[in-house]
Amino acid sequence: MSKNDQNVAFCAVDYAFQRIGGKYKARILWYLHEHKVLRYGELKRMVKGITTKMLTQTLRELEKDELVTRKEYHQVPPKVEYSLTPIAEEFVPFIDQMRAWAEKRIKDSLQDVEPIACY
Amino acid sequence: MSKNDQNVAFCAVDYAFQRIGGKYKARILWYLHEHKVLRYGELKRMVKGITTKMLTQTLRELEKDELVTRKEYHQVPPKVEYSLTPIAEEFVPFIDQMRAWAEKRIKDSLQDVEPIACY
DNA sequence: CTGCATCCCCCACGATACTG
DNA sequence: CAGTATCGTGGGGGATGCAG
C-alpha cells in the first residue's frame, strides 16, 4: 500500500469506523446523546480515565467530521459546551443497538468479564 | 489507570468496540455475511491490503470471541472455511446500517474523499 | 475552567521469509 | 493452500507541566 492510502477508506464500513472508531469516540457520542449538552469538564468526568489531551484531541476530530458542535462562551472562567450534530444523532441509534447487543453478550458470558461500570 | 484495566470494558459500548473494532474486523464480518462461507484465500483477496499475519490474527480473535467459525478440512492441499456464528449474524444488521449511514455521508461530501472501492 | 505543549512508551500493524 | 516466525516502525495514547 502506498503512503497516500493512509486515509482512504476501502469501503463505507471503513469510512464509518474511521469516524467513530478509536478509543473514546463512541462513548463520547453516547454521553452527549444522553445528556444533550455537556461541558468539557463534565465530559472529562464521565469518560473515566481519559486525559485532557485525548479528550481535546478527540473532540476536535469529531468536530472536524461534523459530529459534534462546539459552543464557546467568551467569559471568565471559560465555558464551553459540546453537543451532537444532526448527522451524529442519526448515527446514535446504531451505537444504542450495539450497546444492547453487547449487554446481552456480557450477560451470557458472566465469567472472565469485569463488572461493567458505565453510566 | 492500573495495568489490569487493559481489557476491561468501561461500558457496553466499549465491550462492543473491543470485539468488532480494529482495522479489519468489521470488513471481515461483512464479507462473511455477504458470502456466507469463505476460504482463507478468498478472504485474503477481498480484504485488500491485509497481510497473512493480520488476517490470521484477526480471524483467531474473532474465533475466540465466538464471532466466526473455523472449519478445517484435513486434506492436501489444505482447505479452511470461515463463516459467521449466530452471535455475529445478530450483529451484522448494525454494520449494514452503519454502512448505509456512511454511504449517505460520503455522497453528501463528495470532495476530498477518495473513490470508495468496495465490493 | 478549558485547554495546549512536551516527552515518551508501547504495541498494532507492516514487510519479509519460510513451511507442512 | 493456509498458514507460522521474526524483525521493525509509526503513531495512538499516557503523564506531566504550563497558560489564558
Determine whether the distance from the CB of B97 to the nearest atom of strand D is below 7 Å.
no
Average predicted confidence (pLDDT) for chain A = 86
Residue B118's pLDDT is: 54
- How many beta-carbon pairs under 8 angstroms link A with B? 123
B7: confidence class by pLDDT, cuts 50, 70, 90? low
C-alpha cell at A7: 486515509
**What is the tens place of the pLDDT at every residue in B48-77?**
999 999 999 999 999 999 999 999 999 999
Give chain B's length: 119
β-bridge pairing A79-84 and B68-73: unpaired
Number of H helices and E strands in chain A, helices first, is 5, 3
Determine whether the distance from the CB of B56 to the nearest atom of strand C is below 7 Å.
no
Q: Give the closest nucleotide to A80 (alpha carbon vs C1').
A: C2
Average predicted confidence (pLDDT) for chain B = 86
Closest CA to A11 of B84, B63, B35, B23: B23
How far, in Å, CA of A41 to CA of A61, rounded? 18
Determine whether the distance from the CB of B78 to the nearest atom of strand C is below 7 Å.
yes
**What is the tens place of the pLDDT at every residue in A1-56?**
333 344 567 788 888 888 998 899 999 999 999 999 999 999 999 999 999 999 99
Residue B31's pLDDT is: 95
Query: What backbone torsions phi and psi does residue B89 show, to the nearest 5 degrees?
Result: -60, -35
Q: Report yes or no: B14 at the A interface, CB cutoff 8 Å.
A: yes
pTM confidence score: 0.86
Report the share of chain A in percent with pLDDT over 90: 61
Mean pLDDT on B2-17: 66
Q: Which residues contact A99 (CB under 8 A, 6 or more apart)?
A: A30, B11, B12, B13, B16
CA B57 to chain centre: 12
Tell me if A5 and B49 make a contact (CB, 8 A cut-off). yes
